[in-house]
Amino acid sequence: MDPALLRERELFKKRAIATPSVEKKKVEPKAEPPRNDKKKSSRPASAAPKLDINTYKTSSGSSQYPFAVLAKIVKYMRQRHQDGDMHPLSIEDILDETNQLDVGAKVKHWLNTEALQDNPKIEVTPDGRYLFKAMYRLKDRKTLLKLLKQQDLKGLGGILLDDVQESLPHCEKALKILQNQNEIIFITRPVDKKKVLFYNDRTASLPIDEEFQKLWRSVAVDAMDDAKIDEYLEKQGIRSMQDHGLKKPLAPKRKRVGQRKKVFKKPRDNEHLADVLETYEDNTLTQKNTV
């Protein structure tokens, strides 16, 4: 080996030993806080808890469940009323007949104290039982015909067919018999296409000639309003009816009473001192004479 290179190597070592060197300390990573293993569930996320049908129905988390029970009860009470079963039932009998015996105590208490008590379609008897509350109290077709006669006599018009079907047990059979006897009339309301039931008062029907009926039906007044019809009738010399309905009697006008002028008496001076005042005319005369 070349001796010159050896000398340079020795000199390099001496210089390296003479120069001080600063070593950088390695930054140790901070220790992580201990994890709480209790928060994590031991079972995997894919495993879902099994649901029991009975506990799911009676759980308080399902907010729609009590109202579903109430709707089923109201529907059943309406159906049994239409079938002719009008005897009242207790809450236990209702839940038994609607196959809802698995209802929890909380929902049952809500039904018995609030829901059925405040429902407009349920009637509560004095002994705490429940009945369906229909629009009209109808038992058979005779009571329906009596109601329609009262409506006609009082001028109240007809009754909706939906209300009759809800109120009258075995409604279709009763309506068919009354229609065959020509006791009732069905009229479809043009606003919502609902059928209205009227009493057919045969004493008010008058025989009308067919030619007159044809002439009446041939006149088209769909595109004319009331003002145009009145104008046409006046041109033909026919006076149209005005102010339909009963007129209220006018109250008699009261005559205004003229205001009377108040007469004020002139106040007299010192009237309240009439007994106290004294006259001094005599004294003044005597004093003048003496002077």
In this predicted model, what pLDDT tens digit does every residue of 163-172 receive, in sequence order?
999 999 998 9
| Averaged confidence pLDDT in the chain | 77
User: The tokens 């050896």 sit on which residue?
Assistant: 6
Single pTM value for the model: 0.50
More confident residue, 193 or 60: 193
| Each residue's pLDDT tens digit, 34-81 | 555 544 444 544 444 444 444 444 444 456 888 999 999 999 999 999
pLDDT at 159 over 70: yes
pLDDT at 277 over 70: no
Q: Give the start-to-end residue ranges of the domains of the chain.
A: 59-132, 141-204
DSSP string, 43-103: S-TT-PPPPPHHHHHH-TT-TTHHHHHHHHHHHHHHHHHHTT--S-B-HHHHHHHTT-TT-
The CATH-assigned architecture of domain 141-204 is: Orthogonal Bundle (1.10)
Least confident piece of the model among 27-36, 39-48, 217-226: 39-48
The CATH-assigned architecture of domain 59-132 is: Orthogonal Bundle (1.10)
Taking the C-alpha atoms of residue 58 and residue 95, their distance in angstroms, rounded to an integer, is 14
Taking the C-alpha atoms of residue 78 and residue 171, their distance in angstroms, rounded to an integer, is 13
Domain pair 59-132 / 141-204, same fold: yes
